[in-house]
Amino acid sequence: MEATLTTDILFYLFSAAILGCGLMAVTVKNLLHSAIALMGCLFGTAGLFLLLDHEFVALMQILVYIGGVVIFIIYAVLLTTHLGTRYLPASTLKYISGVTLAAIVLGLVLHIDPQATHTAVNPDRTATTIDAIGYRLLDGSTNGFLIPFEVISVLLLSAMIGAATIAKHQKPGATNDEDETGGSAS
């Protein structure tokens, strides 16, 4: 998109939404609320991708992340924590170490970032079309991504089968469970 005042304003609006929702997602006590804040953060990111001329990535963000992963997280929250209300506070030491580590990483990255040299948009750039993405993914030459594409499909299939196997409800006492805490079948 052309760099105009409108895109600047939109960029800062989306940035504010992303950062606000991101901060909420890691600080809010109720886990369900933080999952919804993550949803807002991902929506803001999708808007940013539209602003940066990557419509395909924006659509994928909405379909897969918001429609799939976040809904999945919400299901897991509802299944495990009684509406996510029980809050577990972290120790002060963990807070200090978390803030310190985040500040160190932020300082390092912000120290490196301004040294990026190509900061102007290439004037005769063209937006990537979905056709081009499809051809590149199925291109078997050294320029294409055929093998990673196939590997990722096998990975997804095995992850799905593995997840279904792990989460399958086991009959109490039918397997080799050795925990002496007696937490099963309650």
Q: How many residues bind other proteins (CB under 8 A)?
A: 90
Report the alpha-carbon distance of residue 28 to residue 24 in Å, rounded: 5
Q: Which two tokens stand for residue 153?
A: 């499909």
Residue 82 as a binder of other proteins (CB under 8 A): the answer is no
Least Å from the CB of residue 138 to other proteins = 11
Q: Of 33, 67, 85, 121, which lies in the binding site for other proteins, with binding defined by CB under 8 A?
A: 121
With b meaning 16 or more CB within 10 Å and e meaning fewer, what string describes 155-182? eeeeeeeeeeeeeeeeeeeeeeeeeeee
Around 172, how many Cα atoms within 13 Å sit in the side-chain half-sphere? 6
Residue 99 as a binder of other proteins (CB under 8 A): the answer is yes
Residue 173 as a binder of other proteins (CB under 8 A): the answer is no
Segment 135 to 164, residues that bind other proteins, using CB under 8 A:
136-137, 145, 148, 152, 155-156, 159-160, 162-164
Least Å from the CB of residue 174 to other proteins = 13
* Cβ neighbours around 74 below 10 Å, total: 17
Segment 3 to 22, residues that bind other proteins, using CB under 8 A:
3, 7-8, 11, 15, 18-19, 22
Q: Scanning the structure block, which residue is given the tokens 């379909």?
A: 63
Residue 54 as a binder of other proteins (CB under 8 A): the answer is yes
Q: Computed over its alpha carbons, how large is the radius of gyration of the chain?
A: 22
Least Å from the CB of residue 47 to other proteins = 12
Q: Of 167, 173, 174, 176, which lies in the binding site for other proteins, with binding defined by CB under 8 A?
A: 167
Return the closest-CA partner of residue 39 out of 58, 57, 61.
61
Residue 119 as a binder of other proteins (CB under 8 A): the answer is yes
Residue 59 as a binder of other proteins (CB under 8 A): the answer is no
SS3 (DSSP) at 176: coil
Report the residue number, 88 or 174, with the smaller CB distance to other proteins: 88
